[in-house]
Structure formats: structure tokens, C-alpha cells
Amino acid sequence: MEGHGHSLDELYLLGFPVKHSVGPAMYEAVFKRLGIEAVYRVLEVPPEALGGAVEVLRRRRCRGFNVTIPHKTRVVEHLDLLEPPASTIGAVNTVVIEDGRLVGYNTDVHGFREALLRFTGPRRWGRAVLVGAGGAARAAAYALRDMVEELVIVSRTGRTAEALARDAEAWGVPHATGHAASPRIYRRVLREASLVVNASPVGMEPRSDETPIPAELLQPGTVVFDMVYRPLKTRLLRGAEKAGCTVIDGLWMLASQAAENMRLWYGVHVGVGEFRKAALEAMGMGNHE
């Protein structure tokens, strides 16, 4: 398959830091099986260089790109059009380039929701606790808008959490509050939480000895979803398992949104399991499951 005047379609991941991404191995395994002539490359782009990097990709007429930490909200101003739900959330993780126009999508919402439903089935949550208030957290809050009675959002200073809580209520969450992270707030809110989501980078390699939530505060039976996928079993998830919680690792979300990205870029259906298997092999965990 030829693309946009190049012998190879070009796809990219923009982030900072982003060197450890399994994206290239994951997508290229799928491209190879489908006979798609494409490359998926990682670009380390510091925040001040984001606008310039996006314009280079626009001129190259590549097929599209993904965006990860810390660019998911900042990239919006450099795009020509946002499709729902990206237009509502104000965060983009996938861009399709069509005739030189940059169209932003949010497949994190789909990826998060699909990964959660895979483990829990459709259900109504009482209180959900969401750690983080960046682009990934915005996607999670939007995905949960019709699934929770109460959403408690915790961020480092609390300011971004309060702003996201206001947005979450506008999106349909019945009751949302924002707080600054502290042992006291976690003690108060985790006792009654049925779902805990880490949408922050805390616990990600190379700082995998960190955890956003002390495991001793988690209650048995709580579902704990960590969007971090390197390491696959974060300190948070290890502690949650010991506490008797159901755990969901971030690779389920990554594989689910990758499947949605392939639909947007190429109009093809690829199973989530195929992306997950390719990612596990790239991480040296081919026999993990």
C-alpha cells in the first residue's frame, strides 16, 4: 500500500519522554501481517518544540500520529479540526492527516472504556477515585460520565483536579470533586471507592518504585486500573492484588486504543489481543499470558 507520495506510510508517536514506547513494535507487527507498507516511529518532542514538530509532519503528509504525555491537551491548538469526543474533552491522542488537514481524535476514551468493560462488564459504580487530571484523566472522566454516581479526582496541587471535576459534571457525572493529593484525602475517599484509576505517570519506568496510592488504604474487592503499562505490573497493582482487589494493567487500554487507531488510519479491524500480544513480545514477556 503506497501513501501520500512516499513508498512507505509514515506514522509517529510524539511525547516527552517516549523512548520506552512499545508502539513501533506493536504497530509494525500488525502492519506486517496485513501487508501494509508503513513505519511507526517515536519522536521525543519537548513541550516548547511541539508546534514545530506538528508542522513538519503536516508538510511531510504523513498518514497520522499519536500524542502522549505531556502533549494531549497542548496539541489541540495546532490542529484544524477535532472530532467528538476530542472536541468536548479538549484532549487528543490520535491525529489523522487528510489532504494536509490535521484532524484530532480521542481514542483513549474508547480504549479506557473497552479495557474496563472487559474485566467488569457493564455496571454502575458508586464512587470512583481518579488520580491525575491531565489528558488521560480527562478521557477517563468522560468515559465514566454515565457509569458512576460520584467521581473523586486527585491531582498534585488540586487545582487541575477541581477544574476537571467541574468539566466532569458538565459532561454528565452526577457528583464530582477535586482535591490535592495527601494521605488524609486518600484515607477519606478510598474506604468507599469501588473503582480506582491511576491516570498519572507515577509508577512508570524508570521510577517504578513509586506508587500514587499507599496499598494499605485499598479495600478488598475494589477494581484498580493503572494506565501505566511499563512495568506491566506496577507497584500500585502489586499492592492492590495483595489487598484483594481486581487489577487492570495499562496495556489493555493501549491495545484497545491502538485497535481504534487502525480503524481511523486504515479502516481495518484488528483484534485487541493481537496488539497486546505484539506489545508483550516487544517487552520480553511473550509467554506472560
Q: How open is the CA angle 165-231-27, to the nearest 5 degrees?
A: 90
Q: Give the whole-angstrom CA distance, residue 215 versus residue 287.
A: 28
Which of the 8 DSSP states describes residue 218? P
Q: Give the whole-angstrom CA distance, residue 81 versus residue 59.
A: 17
Burial 122-155 (b: 16+ CB within 10 A, else e): eeebebbbbbbbbbbbbbbbbbbbebbebbbbbb
- Known catalytic membership, residue 72: yes
**Where does the chain show beta strands of DSSP type E?**
9-15, 38-44, 64-67, 81-82, 94-98, 101-105, 125-131, 148-155, 175-180, 193-198, 223-226, 246-248
Q: How open is the CA angle 154-157-163, to the nearest 5 degrees?
A: 65
Q: Give the whole-angstrom CA distance, residue 245 versus residue 243.
A: 6
Which candidate in 19, 32, 72, 233 is catalytic?
Answer: 72
**Where does 156-213 show beta strands of DSSP type E?**
175-180, 193-198
**Residue numbers annotated as active site:** 72
